[in-house]
Amino acid sequence: MSTAWNDDELQAIVAADDLHIAPLREDGVTYGTPTWIWCVAVAGGLYVRGYNGAASRWYQAALRQKAGRIIAAGKTREVRFEPVEGKLNDLIDGAYRAKYRRSPYLKPMIGAAARAATVRIILASAAP
């Protein structure tokens, strides 16, 4: 079973710009309240960042639980979360610049705090 995003679905998620993220709660079963968040695609991967950096509650839950769900482009998907570090963040910055270039919130999203709270969203199992 592949856990890679299908190109069409990945592009639909990024184009819809309606991604809601819901990491699992401490019980490992219940989903947290979905939080709307910006997303970008880089090299076939789906990425998000915490606007408030590592203090973002969804980010803290995603790192602890490493699993949850997203709701985007009319679909709900079970996912896993992985922190992102290093040079990949430069490519993610570029994707944020391209997609959100007109937003007054871009600068914080490519700043040090948000970069430190970058997460890759991976399908937990193959899409039906």
Tell whether the model's pLDDT for residue 58 goes beyond 80: yes
State the Cα–Cα distance between residues 128 and 78, nearest whole angstrom: 11
- Residue 4 φ/ψ, nearest 5 degrees: -80, 150
Q: Give SS3 for 74.
A: coil
Q: What is the pLDDT of residues 67-124, one digit of tens each?
A: 999 999 999 999 999 999 999 999 999 999 999 999 999 999 999 999 999 999 999 9
- Give the predicted TM-score (pTM) of the model: 0.93
In this prediction, residue 4 carries a pLDDT of 85
State the Cα–Cα distance between residues 128 and 125, nearest whole angstrom: 9
In this prediction, residue 26 carries a pLDDT of 94
Tokens 């970058």, located at residue: 118
